[in-house]
Amino acid sequence: MVPGDAGDGGEECQPDPGGVERLAAEGAGWPDSPRVLLGRVPGAAVQAADIVLTATTSPVPLFDGNDLKPGTHITGIGTFTPDKREVDEVTVRRARIIVDSREACLEEAGDIIRAHPQASRQQLSYRVCEVFNWRKSDGSLKDMSCRVALLRMHREGLIELPAPRHKVNPCRRFARRTAQAQPQPLLEAAVHELSALRLEVVARKDSALWNEYIDRYHYLGYKPLPGAQLRYFAYTGDRLLGLLGFGAAAWKTGPRDAWIGWSRAQRHRNLGGVVNNARFLVLPWVRVRCLASKLLSLISRELPGAWEARYGYRPVLLETFVEAERFAGTCYKAANWRCVGQTQGRGKLGDHRIGQVPVKDVWVYPLVKDFRERLCR
């Protein structure tokens, strides 16, 4: 063993003063061996190196990243726990990082986080996404998914994230209140009496307005939609009738998964083909019979193309969850959605805390005939 190396069990070995010399002498006798030079000063060694290999249990950087010449290849073997740090932040920032396993690297390596000691959790999430090139099909960073993964590893003690910079009150409601979202005069009509219905994707400039409407008039209030998403305003002429929001599908839910018939690996691979109708609101002063089912029919035709335009692929199945004690799901049934069962109250991430959220009916709507074949590949 060379000084500071570790055995198979991960226990640090005692330094061997003559280990480096013996290793160099042994290597010199290997067939086609490169010329071996012993360096006592790390800076001088790495300045002349084309390849740098580190295999130590050092908790501090072994060399100054400024000493590396452009194009140097570095293999860091010893950074196998978050408290090991063979390379400094200069090296990390200069490098294009390649790993053999993204999951193992996130669980085991502390270098990326420790290279940015002043960064917020959001900034760290951005950096991890950039390093591993974690991007959605539209090229944007998978920031929210990365933040969820980092937070989970933080809770499991695999990494240590900085303290949150902003305290979040889960009971705090969306604070924005504007005249534009105030209640409007009552609209009572039959759906066929309305001028042509249209759906309009929410533009960035109108994002806060959509959030405000949902927070003021939807019984669940406003929460950011997860993952890839599209939000809509529904109009007749210039009159706003309702709002719809679509986001990432539930990670797992028994009734849906059994109905699709996919394996766990297939679900992991193809879950992006399912889109969740997370919010649906007909404004309370709009009383138009059959309007909700009509809007659901319209969105089933409009959403696939809009989703493809934004994210580069077409979803094949819609899902939603209807709180069983509050609603019967009549509008979904009228729009030819299918109820495939009930949840057990575990929430979208499917953890084991049954009863933490209300039981909901699971409704699905296929967007293509061969949705099962596509999801079960």
Structure token digits, residue 159:
């990494």
Structure token digits, residue 300:
């089933």
Return the higher-pLDDT residue of 134 and 204: 204
Rounded-to-integer distance, Cα 369 and Cα 367, Å: 7
Chain segment 243-273, per-residue pLDDT in tens? 999 999 998 899 999 999 999 999 988 999 9
The single-letter DSSP state of residue 191 is: G
- The predicted structure's pLDDT at residue 90: 76
Chain segment 267-305, per-residue pLDDT in tens? 988 999 999 999 999 999 999 999 999 999 999 999 999
Q: Are 361 and 322 in contact (CB under 8 A)?
A: yes
Structure token digits, residue 11:
């226990």
Tell me how many degrees the CA angle 211-273-214 measures, rounded to the nearest 5.
Answer: 10
User: Which residues does 291 contact at the CB level (< 8 Å), separation at least 6?
Assistant: 191, 194, 241, 242, 282
| Helix, coil or strand: residue 75 | strand
> Helix/strand/coil (H, E, C) string of 112-139?
HHHCCCCCCHHHHHHHHHHHHCCECCCC
Q: Quick one: average pLDDT of 41-62?
A: 81
- The predicted structure's pLDDT at residue 4: 39
Q: Are 102 and 108 in contact (CB under 8 A)?
A: no
Phi/psi of residue 52, nearest 5 degrees = -120, 120
The answer on pLDDT for 8 being more than 90 is: no
Question: Which residue, among 189, 275, 279, has the nearest Cα to 233 in the 3D structure?
Answer: 279
User: Would you say domain 186-375 falls under CATH 3.20.20.210?
Assistant: no
The answer on pLDDT for 11 being more than 50 is: no
- The predicted structure's pLDDT at residue 174: 61
Helix (H) or strand (E) holding 291: helix 291-311
User: Would you say domain 39-155 falls under CATH 3.40.50.10470?
Assistant: no
The answer on pLDDT for 172 being more than 70 is: no
Return the higher-pLDDT residue of 321 and 346: 321
Tell me how many degrees the CA angle 283-241-205 measures, rounded to the nearest 5.
Answer: 95
Q: Quick one: average pLDDT of 214-235?
A: 92
Residue 287 CB neighbours (<10 A): 12
pLDDT band per the 50, 70, 90 thresholds, residue 13: very low
Rounded-to-integer distance, Cα 107 and Cα 97, Å: 16
Listed in order, strand segments (DSSP E) in the chain are 51-54, 73-76, 187-190, 197-201, 230-236, 239-248, 274-282, 286-289, 317-323, 338-342, 360-366
Q: Are 39-155 and 186-375 equal in CATH topology?
A: no
Chain segment 88-116, per-residue pLDDT in tens? 767 876 777 676 665 556 554 566 777 77
Q: Where are the domains of the chain?
A: 39-155, 186-375
pTM: 0.62
